[in-house]
Amino acid sequence: MGDAYLVNNPLTPNQAIRFDAELCTSCNSCVDVCRCDVLAPSPGPGETPLLVYPDECWFCGCCVAHCPSPGAIRMEHPLCQSVGWKRKETGEHFRIGMQDPPPPNEQPPVGGWGSPSRGR
């Protein structure tokens, strides 16, 4: 009988996190703190941990927060969970993290900038 190997599941639309191989130190601290056990330790020195169960990720961010190498892990939230908005005048759609974001809206909100009145 041959050897057994642990390999990634086929990629799904839910690619929960991405590793930057140049920044990852293969310390596996992300594997230790993952609440859902979606990660497996890196197969060898200089390699990133394996994202074995991407569809089970809760997007809690523990792996990103506990990584000693900033930028080595990037959380990829599904598009349906990203914040987005639509400009009424033009019908344009925008979302956080887009390449060329629109200029900020400088108009005051309906009712002004003050606090809402209490107990009318």
The 3-state DSSP class for residue 42 equals coil
Contacts of 71 (CB under 8 A, 6+ apart): 20, 23
User: Sign of dihedral through CA atoms 45, 48, 52, 58?
Assistant: positive
Nearest by Cα to 13 from 82, 93, 76: 76
Question: Quick one: pLDDT at residue 84?
Answer: 77
User: Between 24 and 2, where is the model more confident?
Assistant: 24
pLDDT one-digit tens code per residue, 24-68: 999 999 999 999 999 999 988 889 999 988 888 888 999 999 999
d(C-alpha 41, C-alpha 58), whole Å: 19
Nearest by Cα to 55 from 84, 82, 78: 78
Structural domains of the chain sorted by starting position, each given as residue range(s) with its CATH number in brackets: 1-98 (3.30.70.20)
pTM: 0.59
pLDDT one-digit tens code per residue, 77-111: 776 666 777 888 888 887 777 777 777 777 787 87
Question: Quick one: pLDDT at residue 62?
Answer: 92
Cα dihedral 101, 75, 79, 103, rounded to 10, equals: -10
d(C-alpha 3, C-alpha 29), whole Å: 27
User: Is the pLDDT at 9 greater than 70, yes or no?
Assistant: no
Going by pLDDT thresholds of 50, 70 and 90, the confidence category of residue 117 is low
Supply φ then ψ for residue 4, to 5 degrees. Answer: -100, 140
